[in-house]
């Protein structure tokens, strides 16, 4: 099939590359001419494991191309995906749909023949209706149907998620779209990926509900971690104990500094606003948002407490800046609030991240960047593990201690065992594990 992807950001580029790897003919469109030029040269604008190879292989095979010419790409397409950004709107927290609406109008002017228009962007309930109205008003003669097909991609594991999905959700109001979408995803039938057809509004709600539930699960275990610290428990053992219950499951039960990234913060906030608009307030999600926002700065205060209540004039080493491993995404990363809290308290920051430092430089000012983890620890009064990159999981504790002014480790991801760290001569603080609880093997899976 001929597929056009409007938007060559994270979702659009990953989806387009994967569709082309299925054998479809895919054209990725973006208004940013510089980005398109770089993609044509095989330069990938984001870090996602395996994406560079996928793009260059399929581009070389002629199945994947890049252009700024939306009109010609849409005119030749059987299916057009809208995969543009929907950031939080300044002032009220609603999803900013201006890019979606603009894409719909541009698509309408270029349509030739029957075309399925698919909203891939994360959008509030009812957006598909508005996209349909915009296209019909802009081009009354257009033959088209509008479908919702939300993405469920984890940064750092997006290609595997796309090719081996838990489910594919397709929301439609016109049955003419069903055989087209079945053909789009036909290659995944071999993997027995379930395709769930629903109404369009239901599909839009599924995406927000999924992200909100996972964010709520993270926030729940973080609050349990606080209780464990006060009451003498071990949150990792608690998480394992409840996660083994099949009704609960082990995923997203790793205590830490709070969720971040491009999805959970904006999607939970947008869902809260949607609930208010429909006079159906979502109190659990409202609380989730508030607790998570407060937690990030609380982690900064936790570091200060580990430094005997004062970091003024002290150097703090930060390991990990991105909101999770295997991505360069800094959007709403907990590290931002943690670092700002420490800077406000008078600390000097030396930070290292394997992939996120370039993006961090545009978002965090007044800090130093290190060459590696040991450089970040040089002359530091405290080392803080913020993001659990694999290369931080087996650091040479002796080498770290020798580099530091004061051997203190604050482990915000519970990567290390207290006994091992203290044996190496460090003072140690972690999440949800009191000294009385000791070491227990409770960790289940890498934090999402």
pLDDT tens digits along 361-411: 999 999 999 999 999 999 999 999 999 999 999 999 999 999 999 999 999
Q: How far apart are CA 347 and CA 312, in angstroms?
A: 5
Kindly tell me if the per-residue pLDDT of 191 is higher than 80. Answer: no
Domains of the chain, each with CATH number or no CATH: 2-198 (3.40.50.720), 209-437 (3.40.50.720)
Residue 152 CB neighbour total at 10 angstroms: 17
Closest by Cα among 253, 272, 147 to 209? 272
Residue 241 CB neighbour total at 10 angstroms: 13
Instruction: Please state whether beta strands 144-148 and 315-319 pair in parallel, antiparallel, or not at all (unpaired).
Output: unpaired
Kindly tell me if the per-residue pLDDT of 432 is higher than 90. Answer: yes
pTM for this entry: 0.93
Q: How far apart are CA 373 and CA 244, in angstroms?
A: 35
Strand 79-82's sheet: what is its strand order?
Answer: 64-67, 25-29, 2-6, 79-82, 115-119, 144-148, 168-171, 195-198
> How do residues 16-26 score in pLDDT, each as one tens digit?
999 999 999 99
Query: Which residues are annotated as catalytic?
Result: 263
Distances (CA, A) of 8 to 12, 151, 159, 344, 364: 5, 14, 15, 37, 26
Instruction: Give Cα 427 distance to the centre of its chain.
Output: 32
- Give the distance between the most distant pair of CA atoms in the chain: 75
- φ/ψ of residue 284, rounded to 5: -65, -40
Q: What percent of the chain has pLDDT over 70?
A: 97
Polymer length in residues for the chain: 448
> How do residues 238-286 score in pLDDT, each as one tens digit?
999 999 999 999 999 999 999 999 999 999 999 999 999 999 999 999 9
Closest by Cα among 378, 369, 367, 424 to 405? 378
Kindly tell me if the per-residue pLDDT of 338 is higher than 50. Answer: yes
pLDDT of the residue at 189: 82
Kindly tell me if the per-residue pLDDT of 93 is higher than 80. Answer: yes
Contact 62, 2 (CB under 8 A): no
Strand partners, 25: 2
Q: How far apart are CA 352 and CA 343, in angstroms?
A: 16
Contact 385, 411 (CB under 8 A): yes
Kindly tell me if the per-residue pLDDT of 441 is higher than 60. Answer: no
Q: How far apart are CA 11 and CA 48, in angstroms?
A: 11
pLDDT of the residue at 279: 98
Q: How far apart are CA 47 and CA 156, in angstroms?
A: 8
Joined together, the tokens standing for residue 400 give 């770290």
> How do residues 296-316 score in pLDDT, each as one tens digit?
999 999 999 999 999 999 999
- Across 45-70, average pLDDT: 97
Kindly tell me if the per-residue pLDDT of 80 is higher than 90. Answer: yes
pLDDT of the residue at 91: 81
Sign of CA dihedral 216, 214, 197, 54: positive
Strand 382-385's sheet: what is its strand order?
Answer: 368-369, 348-352, 315-319, 382-385, 408-411, 427-429
């Amino acid at each position: 099939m001929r597929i056009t992807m409007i938007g060559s950001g994270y979702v659009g580029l990953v989806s387009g590359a994967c569709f082309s790897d299925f054998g479809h003919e895919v054209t990725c469109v973006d208004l940013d001419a510089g980005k398109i030029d770089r993609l044509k040269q095989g330069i990938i604008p984001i870090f996602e494991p395996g994406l560079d190879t996928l793009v260059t292989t399929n581009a070389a095979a002629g199945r994947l191309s890049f252009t700024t010419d939306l009109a010609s790409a849409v005119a030749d397409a059987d299916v057009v995906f809208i995969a543009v950004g929907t950031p939080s709107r300044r002032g009220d927290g609603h999803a900013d749909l201006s890019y979606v609406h603009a894409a719909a109008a541009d698509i309408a002017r270029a349509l030739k023949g029957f075309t399925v228009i698919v909203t891939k962007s994360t959008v509030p309930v009812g957006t598909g209706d508005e996209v349909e109205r915009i296209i019909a008003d802009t081009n009354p003669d257009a033959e088209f149907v509008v479908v919702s097909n939300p993405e469920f991609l984890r940064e750092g594991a997006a290609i595997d998620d796309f090719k081996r999905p838990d489910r594919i959700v397709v929301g439609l109001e016109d049955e003419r779209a069903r055989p087209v979408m079945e053909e789009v995803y036909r290659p995944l039938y071999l993997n027995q990926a379930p395709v769930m057809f629903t109404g369009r509004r239901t599909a839009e709600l599924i995406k927000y509900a999924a992200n909100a539930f996972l964010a709520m699960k993270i926030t729940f275990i973080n609050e349990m971690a606080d209780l464990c610290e006060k009451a003498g428990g071990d949150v990792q053992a608690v998480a394992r104990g409840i996660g083994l219950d099949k009704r609960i499951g082990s995923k997203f039960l790793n205590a830490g500094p709070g969720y971040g990234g491009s999805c959970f913060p904006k999607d939970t906030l947008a869902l809260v606003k949607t609930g208010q608009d429909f006079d159906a307030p979502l109190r659990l999600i409202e609380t989730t948002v508030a607790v998570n926002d407060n937690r990030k700065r609380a982690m900064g205060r936790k570091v200060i407490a580990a430094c005997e209540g004062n970091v003024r004039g002290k150097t703090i080493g930060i390991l990990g800046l991105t909101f999770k491993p295997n991505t360069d995404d800094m959007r709403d990363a907990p590290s931002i609030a943690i670092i700002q809290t420490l800077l406000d308290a008078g600390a000097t920051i030396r930070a290292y991240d394997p992939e996120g430092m370039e993006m961090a430089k545009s978002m965090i000012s007044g800090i130093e960047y290190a060459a590696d983890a040991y450089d970040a620890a040089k002359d530091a009064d405290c080392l803080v593990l913020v993001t659990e990159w694999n290369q931080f999981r087996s650091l040479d504790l002796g080498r770290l201690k020798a580099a530091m002014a004061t051997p203190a480790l604050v482990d915000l991801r519970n990567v290390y065992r207290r006994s091992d760290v203290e044996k190496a001569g460090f003072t140690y603080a972690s999440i949800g594990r009191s000294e009385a609880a000791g070491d227990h093997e409770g960790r289940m899976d890498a934090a999402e």
